[in-house]
Every structure is written in C-alpha cells, then in structure tokens.
Structure 1
Amino acid sequence: MHVLILGGTGEARRLADVLVADPALRVTSSLAGRVERPRLPAGEVRIGGFGGPAGLAAWVRAHAVDAVVDATHPFAERISRNAALAAEETGVPLLALRRPSWTARDGDRWHRVPDLAAAAQALPALGSRVFLTTGRQGIAAFAHLDGLVFLARSVEAPAPPVPARTEVLLERGPFTLDGERALLRAHRIEVLVTKDSGSAATAPKLAAARELGLPVVVVERPAAPAGVRTAPDVAGAADWLRRLRG
C-alpha cells in the first residue's frame, strides 16, 4: 500500500515515523520546498509542487498511490484544495490530518479575525509594539503600518514588502514558556499576532501573553475542503489507514 503524505509539519513527520515501521506500507512524503533546510521525514521524500490538482492527480496515478494524507499546515489552503480535487478525480481515499484549534482560557484577551487584512486593521487600536508570528509569507499584509514597531519571527527571512520598523527574528520552534515570556518583556511587546495553527510547539507564546495581560490577535483558520474526512492526530490518521487496508 503506497501512502502519500502531504506536508512538512510535525504531525506529518510523526505519521511518517509510524508508517515506515510497517513493512506492508510504502511511504512518500511531499514537501512544498519553501524552506531551504527542511526537517526531512522518514521514508521516501519528494520536494516541490505538483502543478495544481491535475498535476497531483497525475502523480498519484503514475506512482500507484493508494491513499493520501493531507498533513499540511492548517493555513495551506491551496494544497488542501488541490488534494481534494485530485482525490475526487482519481478516486483515491483522502484524509486531512488537522490538529485541533487553540481554545481561549480564563485571562486570555483574544481578538479573533477572519484573515491577515483584518488583523492589520485591528492592530493600531491594540498596541504600538507588535510581536508578529504569522510566518514570513504573512508579513506583507502589515507593510503599510509605518507607525507601529514589529518584531517578526519566522523560520526564514521574509521577502519585501515588510513594515518599515521591523526586526526579524529567525527561529524555529518548539519554544518554551520561559523563553517566550523573556522575549515579550525584552522587546516591550504590547500585542501579539498569530494564526490559529493549534501547534503545541508554538503555544507557549499564548501562555506568556496571558501572564502579561497582552491582547492577542488570532487569525482564524480556513475550513477543510467540503466532504473531506478529517482526523485530529497521528493516531487517528494511522487508524484510518489500517481500516483502509482491512
């Protein structure tokens, strides 16, 4: 049984670790190639795009793929949509592995917004020193906010445009509560902006913001494509594959 895992997330790597231990499975992980030095999963790896849903469908057919697991980032809308279209065209079973969203706790000052544009619009009323953790591709949405000071954290340096007063911090999680607390204090952060990735590796910033009483602008994640089965964790995805095998 040939399983294609889409995505370079932590869940994708953990799923690959589980599946390659089964000699009855062939596992191929596909990474988008946006990160220069990605963490490679176990098993076979391909890097780069497919050329849209038709290209993905052609690859699935050419490589005799029996099942596809979309374990991309919750905000990777395009590849998730392409995977759904390719699965419909080929008839190959598709599962979306989606970690649960973050849930606000007592003391949180969250401002939920539908997209990055709305996050940028909300910022001036919340604070002037911003910790921006939306990823390098999201920084451009804030480029027009010249009156604010940004600390932007990403794995790799963002391409222009970026806000005029921006310090870029190149780091990769997981992060600790002590580290996030110290970072917010050292940079005198007044407001945090994040996407609702649901990742445990980056959740400590939310706890640190809660402790310091900081407002948090949370960009809501897009819904999974209609009709696609989902699982909340690696165990659920592995169980789905076992049931497919019968």
Structure 2
Amino acid sequence: MILVLAGTSDARELALRIKAAGYDLLTTVVTESAAKSMEEAGLPVQVGRLTAEDIRRLIEAKGVQAVVDASHPYAEEASKNAMAGASEAGVPYIRYERESLASPGHDKITVVEDYVQAAEVAAQKRGVIMLTTGSKTLKIFTDRLLGLPDTTLVARMLPRVDNMQKCEELGIEQKNIVAMQGPFSKELNKALYSHYGVTLMITKESGRAGAFDEKVEAALEMGIETIVIARPQIEYGTAFSDFDGVIGQLRELAAPAVG
C-alpha cells in the first residue's frame, strides 16, 4: 500500500501511474471537490486535513510501505506533517513536486519571499490589485490593503461557499470577487485583467500545471506589474519533479501488489 498526498491535477495523474504500476494505494485530499476528481478517476480517497500523528496512524492501520507527497507546492504544513508522520512510522518519504518555472526576468516582475512581503510591496504600489493566491492567506492581504486610498483588491478564488463567506467577513465586496475554477487560459486572464482594470497582479510560482505561465504572460503583455511569491524552501530529502523518478524509487522500496 502506498499513501499519496494528492489534490492537484498532476497529483491525480501520478496516483494513476502508481496504480498502473501495480501498487495498491490510498490518496488523501483536503476538499470534497478534489475527492470527487479522485473518485471519478477510480482512485480510493480519504478526505480531510491530516496531522503528523494522523498520518502515522494511517500508515500503521493500512500497512503503508511508502508515503508519496504530491501535495501543492505551497502546502508547506501538509508536507512537513507527511515527513514527520512517515519518519515516526519508519517508512520512506518521497516528494513529488511539479517543476518550478523560473520567473521571467522582466522589470514588471517583483519576486518576494512570502505572502506578508507580497502584501507590503502591493501596499506601496496600490492601484487595482488582483489576488490569485487563494483564500487561505487572504487575511494577510486584506489587513494591509483594504482601506488604502486609490486601492481596490480583487480576489480570484475557487467558487466555494466558505470562500465567499471569508470574503464577506474580511470586507471584500461581491463585485470584486472572481469565483471561478481554473486553470485559466492566457486569453481569459487578459479578459479578466481588462474587465477590472488591473494594474497589479499577485501570484504564486505554482508551476505549469498551475497555469503560472498563462497568468504572468497575460499580465506582461498588457503591461501589468506582477508580484510573484517564491516557493517555500523545504528540505524534502528524496524528491522528484517527474513521474518516472517517483515510480523508479517506489520499485526500489516496495514490491507491487500480487494479483
């Protein structure tokens, strides 16, 4: 049995590859929508956030031979819990992370270390700011940007009830919420930037599968300044940015299921 921390489209494809290689597996995701995607692909799934202790117990209960962490590049807590849980249970940990795309060198791009720095830089620049970093860190930006003169914050996020409730609680007006499921094409990004009159876009360096290229290229072609939040710097140990590397490592660690 292989435990796969999933939730992204490339994580789902990796899980399918692991299954095709002959391994029994269990995927874990955080949201019901991600679970539905796994179920539709014929993958067993468990829903809910997991602590390190949760992961250790799951490993022991299911007889897990290895943990494959294919969580989002910015799911820092999930990765740390997976590493700790695997270590406590004494099983190998393998990290899969979509290949990083170096931010194109351009005078319109500012690369920052974290969300707080992104919000502080945005507060200096002001204007119509489109935030494409999700709801989890939304408060960091609303605390620093809402109420500033000559500043409008447009939040783009998944169309979920809890996200809309969070926007309301933090003071983002409905007219400034873009509730859509990505990934977005470059053309759609341009249309949204144009519709809202965006002068500054904030994004994470989420990789090609996260449509990073399309967001940034659209902004640059329209002369829109962009703040890119760099990925967390974590020492994963055994890590791969390709599916074959993960499968090859698994073959060294665990035999496929019989039958």
Normalising by structure 1, we get a TM-score of 0.89
Q: Deviations over 1:14-65 (max 9, x none)?
A: 011212223x310110012375875225321111133x21221111011000
Determine the structure 2 residue equivalent to 1:101: 100
Equivalence map 1:181-192=2 (5 Å): 181-192=190-201
Question: Contact 2:35 / 2:46 at 8 angstroms: preserved in 1?
Answer: no
How many Å apart are 1:150 and its aligned residue? 1.7
Q: Which runs of 5+ in 2 are unaligned?
A: none
Could you say if the C-alpha distance between residues 227 and 122 of structure 1 is closer, same or farther in structure 2, counting changes exceeding 3 Å?
Answer: closer
Q: Which runs of 4 or more aligned residues in structure 1 lie more than 6 Å from their structure 2 counterparts after TM superposition?
A: none
Query: Which whole-Å CA distance do the structure 2 matches of 1:175 and 1:185 have between them?
Result: 15
Q: Deviations over 1:199-221 (max 9, x none)?
A: 43422011101111221111121
Question: Contact 1:13 / 1:42 at 8 angstroms: preserved in 2?
Answer: no
Query: Which whole-Å CA distance do the structure 2 matches of 1:198 and 1:108 have between them?
Result: 21
1:207 aligns with 2:206: no
Determine the structure 2 residue equivalent to 1:43: 43
How many Å apart are 1:164 and its aligned residue? 4.3
Could you say if the C-alpha distance between residues 227 and 177 of structure 1 is closer, same or farther in structure 2, counting changes exceeding 3 Å?
Answer: closer
Q: Which runs of 5+ in 1 are unaligned?
A: none
Equivalence map 1:30-179=2 (5 Å): 30-33=28-31, 38-40=36-38, 41-50=41-50, 52-107=51-106, 109-144=108-143, 145=145, 146-147=147-148, 148-155=151-158, 156=160, 157-158=163-164, 159-160=166-167, 161-164=169-172, 167-179=176-188
Percent sequence identity over matched residues?
Answer: 28
Normalising by structure 2, we get a TM-score of 0.85
Query: Which whole-Å CA distance do the structure 1 matches of 2:127 and 2:44 have between them?
Result: 46
Question: Contact 1:129 / 1:191 at 8 angstroms: preserved in 2?
Answer: yes
Paired residues in the alignment total: 242
Query: Which whole-Å CA distance do the structure 2 matches of 1:110 and 1:208 have between them?
Result: 13
Question: Contact 1:84 / 1:228 at 8 angstroms: preserved in 2?
Answer: no
**What SS does structure 1 have at the residue aligned with 2:198?**
coil
Query: Which whole-Å CA distance do the structure 1 matches of 2:186 and 2:133 have between them?
Result: 19
Amino acid at match of 1:170: A
**Larger helix proportion, structure 1 or 2?**
2
Determine the structure 2 residue equivalent to 1:244: 253
